[in-house]
Amino acid sequence: MEWLLLSSLPGDSVEAVREIVEAYRKRFLIEVFFRVLKSGCRIEERRFESCHRHLSALVVALIIAWRVHSLSQIAQHEPEASARSHFEPAEWQAAWGVVNRAKPPPLLAPTMGEMARLVAKLGGWIQRGGKSYSPPGVQTLWQGLQRLSDLASAWSLSRQETCM
């Protein structure tokens, strides 16, 4: 694979080139984060009468955008990490139960890679194998997390009723 990076920054040493590449890599992550904030959370569409209300909505949207973005990054870079550290039991159990209808949830939380796929499937992602495989993107993750919120609440309520 060959690629070309055009930059106005001086790249007169190997270390300077590495720093430039790292800066552009971080810039891409920031662009994805703002895409989630703008498109997923629709922060630009919000119309409030006061700055205080807009800032309150922005704080909530930033938390949501961070969660979507971090789920995407952790699933890609630490797929074997346990989902237990990022999801409540009701969340991962509900996602598992809805996506894998015929199988009961496992006793232990799935990995972050598996959890990202479960959430993405809730958001409409279709898993394809072979050469056409592509990991879940942030759009299907944010759509899946929206559904997961309601599903986890229903899962918790259904478990409380059966335990009583």
Total residue count of the chain as it appears in this document: 164
| pTM, rounded to two decimals | 0.75
Q: What share of the chain is helix, strand, coil (3-state, %, to 5)?
A: 70, 0, 30
pLDDT tens for the chain, 164 residues long, are: 787 878 888 888 999 889 988 888 888 889 988 888 888 888 888 888 888 888 888 899 899 889 899 999 999 999 999 999 899 999 999 999 999 987 888 899 999 999 999 999 999 998 887 766 778 888 899 999 999 999 999 988 887 755 55
Q: What DSSP designation does 105 have?
A: P
- What gap in Å lies between CA 142 and CA 69, rounded to an integer? 9
In this structure, which topology does domain 14-163 adopt according to CATH? Answer: Transferase Inhibitor Protein From Tn5; Chain A, domain2 (1.10.740)
* Helix/strand/coil for 136: coil
Q: Where are the domains of the chain?
A: 14-163
